[in-house]
Amino acid sequence: MNRVQGRRGHLAPAALALALVVSLAASLPAQGPAAAPRPPVVSADALMATLRTLSSEEFEGRGAGTPGGAKARAWVRDRLGEIGLKPVGDSFEHPFSFTPRGRGPAGGGLPAVQAVNLIGTCPGTDPSLPMMVVSAHYDHVGVRGGQIFHGADDNASGVAVLLEAAASCVRQPFRRTLIVAAFDAEEMGLQGARAFLAAPPVTKDRLALNVNLDMLARGDKGELYAAGLHHHPTLRPLLEPVAARATVRLLFGHDVPGSGADDWTLQSDHGVFHEAGIPFVYFGVEDHSDYHQPTDTADKVNAAFFANAAATVLDALRALDQGLR
């Protein structure tokens, strides 16, 4: 996440009312004799193993263009291969460079950063359908003032769910091809998503939707948000059944223009898709006291919430795959 520093997301009253309606709906029992589909089960152990690895000291906060970032990239790249995704072109690695904003210590501009997106595909059963891009950024802010910023929630958690989604797709393919994107340099201004859309693997009109995962592991409130339905109300009926059977409180909101820091529309990689006219759904939790602090560590994660959040995302991906035009 790349939220406005020093401000925490709290819902405006209107959004809170909406969240209440959704949560009431979610608490109703399944109706009718036909058993409602249940969300998939995702292993908390597998998720936590990924989260612990990526947020460990060894990866040094995964800063874009740093040795820790390169280690994280190699680790995620190898996982994409083990899962059985297909590389895009001849590699999962898609390097790019950008010049960060700001001034160096001598007052001059900052040097260009070399970064690398990791992109794979899980071919769908109907190649004629527009594709879904499921994304999570693997970078975090690295080391500052001699302290490692571990980025367990932000965003080792999203990468862990991304890998589970990819494995689920390989086991049981979606209708549409899933493009699995682990973006770099999100924390430096959504740079990975910008590079992806500057040279997409297929033309943009073949991209139906971005599902972006960023900060999914902190169950401090037991709530997971799906943002984006304000912009894309036709997706709401696809996600309402997911909310109703979810084992977390899946709330809709944080996407209303004019609500300041409560509007997450442009605050992670999905914002770049939005600006390119590609619909998005963003999954994540509200900010917490460890957001962008060295204390965003694995021990703060509620593993049960994390597994339920991952299951909810996998359920949503299937529902979106089925229901999207």
**Which residues make up the interface to Zn ion (CB under 5 A)?**
1, 154
Give me the least distance between CB of 26 and Zn ion, in Å please. Answer: 27
Nearer to Zn ion, 154 or 286 (CB): 154
10 Å CB burial of residue 114 (0-12, 13-18, 19+) is: middle
C-beta of 22 vs 160, nearer to Zn ion: 160
State which residue, 6 or 13, has the beta carbon closest to Zn ion. Answer: 6
| Residues in contact with 157: Cβ distance below 8 Å, sequence separation at least 6, in sequence order | 47, 51, 213, 215, 216, 217, 218, 301, 306
Element (H, E) at 131: strand 131-137
Nearest approach, Cβ of residue 55 and Zn ion (Å): 13
CA distance 7 to 141: 18
In whole angstroms, the minimum distance from the beta carbon of 241 to Zn ion comes to: 30
* Contact (CB, 8 A) for 179 and 201: yes
Our CB check for Zn ion shows the closer of 154 and 269 to be 154
How far does CA 146 lie from the centroid of its chain? Answer: 28
Q: Which is nearer to Zn ion, 255 or 296 (CB)?
A: 296
Q: How far is the CB of 286 from Zn ion (least distance, A)?
A: 13
**How does DSSP assign 1-30, residue by residue?**
--PPTT------HHHHHHHHHHHHHHHSPP
Least distance between Zn ion and beta carbon 2 (Å):
5
